[in-house]
Amino acid sequence: MEYFLNQLVNGLSQGAIYALMAIGYSVIVGVVGMVTFTYGEIMMIGAFGAYYVFQFVGVNLPLALLAAFASSFVLGIIVYKLCYERFFNAPRHISLLCTIGFSMLIKNLVQIVFGPEAKPVLNIIDNRTFSIPLGGAVSIDLKLLQIVIMALVVVLAVTLTLFFNRTKSGVALRAVSQNKEAAYLMGINVKRTAMLGNCIGCGFGGIAGILLAIYYYTISTTTWGGFSMKAFSASVLGGLVDLRMSALGGLFIGIIENLGITISSATFRDMFAFGFLILMLVIRPQGFASKKGSRV
Amino acid sequence: MKKLFTLLLALVLVLSLFALPASAQSKGVIKLGGLAPLTGNYAEYGKGFQIGWQMALDEINAAGGANGYLLEIDVKDSQGDTVVSSTMATAFAEDEEIMAILGDFTSGACKANASIVDRYGVVQLSPTASAPDYASMSPFCFSIMGRQDGEAPYLATYVLKKYLGVTKVAVIRVDSDWGLSCFENFKVQADIEGLEVTEEKYKSDETDFSSIITKAKLSDPEVLVVMDQGAAVSAIFNAADSAGWDIKHVALGPGTSEQVVSQLMTPDNIIVTSPFFFDPQNAELTKWKEEFAGKAGFDPTVHPACAYDTMYLIKTAIENIGDGEITRDAIRAALQDVEMVGITGRIKFEPSGDIQRDYMICGVENGEWKVLEGFDYVNQ
């Protein structure tokens, strides 16, 4: 039982990061109107932005999170200008192919500029573990790192929800996400708003990137494609554009993966994650979302 | 006057021949193909290969080449992928100017290329392939890393049983043919030594090890053994540390990697097996290490040192051909008989095409690698 609960905590921690990744991804899909294949590299750039804050400023987590957000936000502008804005009236696959090409370009550029070797991200959060008794001889081990990451993800998700519901820009973003033509007719600058939404989604991806690096104590230049697929899967589970449901999708994928490892081997991690995704889509094609096309 | 001018011109021409650089005096250029994972999960090793080869090549050419021939290498990115590696190997094999292929990094890629190099009759000399069944796949396959059926049993007998004196071991390994070969060879010897072994495996692109660590803790082992190379080694040990698991860390695969040490939360807790050690007392090795680090931007492991040695092996083979014609087959035949002391030690190929290495036990003290037990530990 204790073993099972500890694996559940591992799954929740990983799922929390997946949830943040999925939130950013869903914002992008919602406002741009199509999936992206550069999301892994966007997370990587955010992670590197924060990494260099740790290198040059020291362990300053708020500043690092800001740097991660800012660097991915800026990359989001470039992605938007190169891959989306120029092809608004072109067939949709042009933009998709452009994001694939841009993803390869960024990945190889980063290897050339920052080097191919993995970078250590150590001692950002104290290595403390709390043993929480649950009655009898059962207790669960909760790391401070896991607590901080889960708390940060919750705070960021609530902040984004408030932004969408309580600010003029947020409402404009929701309008663009729901119906671009109607938003345009209501006087919203659709292109600028879509770019802002894309950049905010990228910024959240950047923060997810540095949280992944802190959680795994390292930044690699090669593992981000897999995370991008997880973000996409979580977003699909949540109906692609529903932020809360995408976050739930991320949490589910994290938990399913870790519980899958509990009963079999880590080799089958992706089999559990994507098997669950396929099963879910067969039973409920709209994912966790209440209806197909539900928007932020 | 005209005769005097002609004589002077002839004299100038003759003298200019002596004044020409080595490259202009060479018998020609021998082209080599290089396979290395310059991108992908093993990119740091691929870059190490590229720099190691280039360092050796620059030295050889500056000293007049190999038996008067200048060497040239065309390095292609195999991405650590067996399919890509085979495509590149075929391209090299079909290019008649390529006299031998150096690389690839993984045993899997080298094994995938074995039938290709065998069919085209071109040497594939890998610095690092350690699968016991690789070199014997073709007379054209060679490797200088040493074999897993030497290192993995050494780990069981001399590191775990004799040095650490443990009986319960948790192994976490990469799920690749290299990882499988390591574990199978280790398990046979571990059974002989009476070690109780549990095994967990993961895909080569795995990043999250917290659930694997939680699972490995269940058997309450005395030591945690990781069989992999690169960032995964430190990621697994860091996951163990962050779970508050106080256990000795042992690794098979990374050697005395400075990068692994720089990425560990508790570097002084690691022990590795290694056929090679950058001894700080050895001025020649230290100079090589510094030159490599200056070019690569990171410290070398044994892998680029092996790559460096493979280039000198080709040079020695060409020299041993003497006045004979330099052909692919002549290089293969000469390479089989080469005996050389490289920076990684003495190299002499077995009839199968690989070499037997001796191993030592290395650990970290105050962030610096040191030899805990030398090559003679097996005799003590």
- The verdict on B192 and B78 lying in the same domain is no
Write the residue in B43, B203, B242 that is nearest to A116 by C-beta. B43
Write out residues in chain A with pLDDT < 50, as ranges: 293-294
Q: How many residue pairs from chains A and B have C-beta atoms closer than 8 A?
A: 124
Tell whether B188 and B314 lie within a shared domain: no
Fold of A2-283: ABC transporter involved in vitamin B12 uptake, BtuC (1.10.3470)
Domain membership flag for residue B287 = yes
Mean pLDDT score of chain B, rounded to an integer? 90
Q: Residue B233 pLDDT > 80, yes or no?
A: yes
Query: Alpha-carbon distance A115 to A109, whole Å?
Result: 9
Indicate if B201 and B335 belong to the same structural domain.
no
B183 and B264 belong to one structural domain: yes
Is pLDDT above 90 for B272? yes
Per-domain residue ranges of chain A: 2-283
Q: Do B157 and B206 share a structural domain?
A: yes
Place of tokens 């089999």: A271
Residue B140 contacts A where some CB pair is shorter than 8 Å: no
Q: Looking at the predicted structure, is the pLDDT value of residue B187 above 60?
A: yes
Confidence of residue B3 (pLDDT cuts 50, 70, 90): low
Could you give the ipTM of this predicted complex? 0.85
Please give the average per-residue pLDDT across B6-31, as a whole number: 62
What digits encode the pLDDT tens for the residues B174-184? 998 889 999 99
Q: pLDDT value at position B5?
A: 61
Banded pLDDT at B301 (limits 50, 70, 90) = confident
**Chain-chain contact of B39 with A116 (C-beta, under 8 angstroms):** yes
| B178 shares its domain with B322 | no
DSSP state letters, A180-192: HHHHHHTT--HHH
- B122 shares a domain with B31: yes
Number of structural domains found in chain B: 2
Q: List the domain range (segments joined by +) for residue B32.
A: 27-146+282-348
Asked if the Cβ–Cβ distance from B39 to A145 is below 8 Å, we say: no
Which CATH number covers residue B153?
A: 3.40.50.2300
* Position with higher pLDDT, A133 vs B327: B327
> How many residues does the structure list for chain B?
380
CA distances from B286 to B94, B117, B189, B334 (A): 40, 36, 35, 31
Q: Is residue B161 part of a domain?
A: yes
B46 part of a folded domain: yes
Of residues A92 and B94, more confidence is placed in B94
Which residues in chain A have Cβ-Cβ distances shorter than 8 Å to B218? 3
Q: Are B181 and B131 in contact (CB under 8 A)?
A: yes
> Is residue B31 scored above 90 in pLDDT?
yes
Residue B158 has pLDDT above 90, yes or no: yes
Say whether both B230 and B365 belong to one domain: yes
What is the spatial distance between Cα A211 and Cα A155, in angstroms, rounded to a whole number? 14
Task: Calculate mean pLDDT across residues B185-189.
Answer: 97
Calpha distance A177→A190 (Å, rounded) = 10
Q: Are residues B333 and B251 in the same domain?
A: no
- pLDDT at residue A292, rounded to an integer: 52
Is 0.90 surpassed by the pTM of this model? Answer: no
Residue B155 lies in a domain: yes
Q: Is A21 on the interface with B (CB under 8 A)?
A: no
The confidence score (pLDDT) of residue B318 equals 96
Contact state of B43 with A14 under an 8 Å Cβ cutoff: no
Q: Looking at the structure, do residues B76 and B220 belong to the same domain, yes or no? A: no
Tell whether B116 and B225 lie within a shared domain: no
Residue B9 has pLDDT above 70, yes or no: no
In a domain, B5, yes or no: no
Same domain, B294 and B268: no
Q: How far is CA A8 from CA A13, B214, B362, in A?
A: 9, 11, 37
